[in-house]
Every structure is written in structure tokens, then in C-alpha cells.
A and B are shown apart, each in its own frame.
Chain A
Amino acid sequence: MDVQGYEIRDDLLYTKEHEWAKVVGADVRVGVTDYAAKTLNDVVYVSPPKVSTEVAQFKFIGTVESIKAVSELYSPVSGTVTKVNAELESHPELVNKSPYGEGWLIEVNATDFGPESKRLLDAARYATHLRAILPKS
């Protein structure tokens, strides 16, 4: 789905702060949406939480930075960080090139994803949220 040039994937769950979550194997993979990446413009630095960090749903976990701006990251899920995308260290531009693919940020061993996932937005609801915050074109 495309909302004013911003891609939204049907198979992901979203936060209002423009992170996405997706179950991958036993863990939940987390990234930022195409809207977040495009709004930041060129991502030049990513500070994700370290492996083994405990994260809580909707709580601050790190930053994604462009030349001019700093965008805060909020975890869509509670649990323990099991993986960090090491590629972003040398290639932060992957967040722009492929926000839903190679530009993923972390994976979390979720403690309570069943109930927590109900507090996330599905693609249709995220699209509605995005339309509401975008200027009318």
C-alpha cells in the first residue's frame, strides 16, 4: 500500500511513532517505516540498543539521525534484544534504501507479544494514522 508516496507493508505491525514489528522465527524484528526514513532524509547514524538490553513497549530505545535531525526510537515490543543489525554501523543509508528489509534495526525476544501486538496498528490503521498527520495534498 502507498500513502502519498510512503510505502506501507501489509504484513507488518506499526507504532504511531513510525516503527514496525514483524515476527521472524522466535523473535520480533523491529525497524522504522518508509515514512520515518523519508522524513529524516539521509540517515547517517543509528544508535540502537545493545544485545541483551531489556526493552519495554513504547519506551525509548535509541536514535536514528540524519545530518540535521535526530529521531527517537520507541520499541514496539517488550523483551530482550537478541540481535542488532551490524550492517547499519557502516551502512546507515540502508535505513533509507530498504527500511522494511536490509535496514531493519534490532530483533527482540519478546516476553508478551500476544497481548502487546493488539496495541500496535495494522497496515490499514497505520495508513489512516499517516493520512491524518500528512498535509492534505
Chain B
Amino acid sequence: MPKTTQFHAYHAGHAKMTDFAGYEMPLWYSSTLDEHMAVRNSSGVFDVSHMGRFVVSGEPAGAFIEGLVPTQVQKQAVGKAFYTLLLDERAGILDDLIVLRLDEAKFMLVVNAANAAADLSHIQARSPPQGVRVDDTTGSSAMVAVQGPSAQSIMQPYTELDLGQLKRLRCAETKVMGQRSIISRTGYTGEDGFEVIVLDATNESPGRAMEFWEKITAASKPCGLGARDSLRLEAGLPLYGSDMDGTTNPFQADLGWVVSSAKTGYVGCDALWELKSSGPEVIRRGVVSDRGIPRHGFVVKAGSEQIGTVTSGTFSPILSKGIALCRLRNEGTEPGATVTIAMRDSEQGGKTVRPPFYDESIYGWKRHGKGN
């Protein structure tokens, strides 16, 4: 039996459902295309309650997490939300995650649903020191992403927090419809928006979480995993399990920016230093195809030579073209390089690009010079 979220009754009545990472989740409500465009042009809301949510707390919590990730943790201000990675000793990526620094000694780790159990084991295997608690709050909270240029005005009525004061990559503990919640200005669509964790909300006793979901889906457009995938791809955001996995290191995943050169002593550090000096032979790159839709596993060539594969691909509603994230040979595939994609029964031309795939002066959170 797949697991369900707090909003399952709503989804079952409104959406085409799919199994994802052990959960039964909405794939689309009306149309993936409409949901995608709603998020780019106005707003959309996603149930992301399936994502893993671990609270790491206690006085040495910061120092403990410092030993787990390649990003500086204790230097992050309270109220900061940051993207980072969990690595193994060989610097293979175990997961990508968002860390919310809620307080000096309290952090929320938001991880991929498919990896949540393995992540928790990995964290516990690092033997949290005396005074550190690791609590899995996945089942006792709900999580909703409100995304798009209108997200702030859509979300504001449900919280006492002044969202205008919450800058991008910031988070705060607050209330949503009177219920304890955490709001961060983060997301997986490339757009401005919020991720809202409603606490004290189990499936059996969700408190006001369901009422919040019903109200916000009436004010905005409910979106399924189909649009979530096309939006993140169009924004050039990698998906764990497709664009990276345990065999990929951060440099190959084009996520070298999360690796701080100012720290040592975390899992994978020694391996990373060695990798850093040599540079990656393969790297994640964006590709736009002239015709056809690149899909996972398609071979990418330069002339007749294979130079990589498509790790995830879709149709971009903004470009009306096929787009892909690919794992390509680093050398010779810099943005602007011409490639060929071997599709099912034809070969199509394409060009490497630096994502996002859309024009950032028109779409995405940076539009209108809103660099907050």
C-alpha cells in the first residue's frame, strides 16, 4: 500500500494519481501544460508533503551538520535557507537537500522522499553527539509549495508573517491559519514562491492543514508532479535519481558552488579535494533540441562520437521545444556547442546552453529586477 499525504482525499477527488517514491501523489489535476503556465504567469500550489523533513536540534546541532555537508553551516545566519548535498566518503552524492536554520541550535533538513530513509540512516550513522536530537517530522507535518510571480499575494492572507519582509532563501517560524508553521522563500520551479511546512499535522489529525490546502487551491491552481518536473527542468534544476546519483560527484553535477573551500572535516571532503584539482571529465549541461523531445537515456553525440546521455528531458512550454539536462563530456561542450541527439528513429540537432532555459528577464524569480 503506497503512503498518502494529509491532502489525499482532495487529490483523489480532483487529480490523476501516480505512485512516486512510495507515495500516491497527484500527477496532474486538469492539464500539466496549464499548471506549468499558471506557475510561470501567476501562481500554482503543490502538495510536497512526501518530502522528508528532519529536525536536528540541540546545542551542538550546527557543528554536527557541519560534518555532514560541504557547505558552511554555522556561518549561516538564523533565518537562512540553503541548498546543499549529502555525500559519501568518495564524494558521491547521496542526496540534495534544503537546510533551514530556524534558530542557533535548530535546523530543518528537507530531503527527497525517495532518499529519506537512507538519509536518516546516514545521519544517524554519524553518531550525533550528546545533546543533539534528530527527529523525523515527515509524518507529523504537511508541506505545500506556493510558486509563481503572484505567490506572495496568494499566500499572505493565511499567515501573520509579513511575507514582503521574507527575502529569497530565508525562512521563519510563524503560524498559518493559526497553526504552528515554517515558511521559507524557496522552491523547485525557478519562480518566486514559498514552501510552507504546517506542523502538528498528521494524516489522522491534520488540524487546519486541510482547510489551508482547500482555501489556497481555491485561490490558486493546484499542480501535480508532472508540472513540478517540467518546471524544475525548464529552470535547469537537477533531479536526484535522474540527473545525479551516488556515482556522481558535485563537480560532475555542476554543483561545485555548494562546496566551500574554507572548510574541511566533513564526509567526502578528502575525495572532493582530489577531484577539485583534476576537474570533472563529464559534467551536467543543458541542451535545447531543434526538433523532437529528448528523453532519459537518449545518446548525445558530436559528429559520430558519443559524448554523453540525456539524464532528463521534456517539452518546454515556454520555448515550445524539447529541452534536456545531460551528462556530457566536459571538454568541447561549453554553452553554445552543437550536438546531435539520437532519438528513437531519427537524429536531431541541438545546442548546449547554461540553464535556466527561459529568458530570465521575462520568467523566473529574477524578473522585474526582483533580486531579493
- Which residues from chain A sit less than 8 Å from chain B, CB to CB? 41-42, 44-45, 47, 62-63, 65-68, 70
Contacts and interface: CB of A to CB of B under 8 A. Distances in A.
A45 B320 CA distance: 10
Leading 3 A-B pairs by shortest Cβ distance: A42-B33, A44-B315, A68-B226
A62 B230 CA distance: 23
Interface stretch (B24-32, B132-140, B261-269, B355-363): B24-32
A67 B295 contact: no
A41 B229 contact: no
Interface string B47-61: 000000000000000
- Which of B27, B230, B293, B314 is the most central at the interface, judged by chain A CB atoms within 10 Å of its CB? B293
Contacts of B346: 47
B36 interface: yes
Query: Dominant SS at the A interface?
Result: strand
B317 interface: yes
B28 A63 contact: no
A66 B226 CA distance: 10
A67 B344 contact: no
A63 B346 CA distance: 12
Nearest to A42: B33
Given A41-B16, A44-B33, A44-B293, A67 B322 contact: no
Interface string B205-245: 00000000000000000000010011000000000000000
Nearest to B31: A42
A47 B295 CA distance: 14
B293 A65 contact: yes
Contacts of B295: 70
Interface string B286-311: 00000011010000000000000000
9 contacts: A41-B33, A42-B33, A44-B33, A44-B317, A45-B293, A45-B322, A65-B293, A66-B32, A68-B226
B314 A68 contact: yes
A68 B31 contact: no
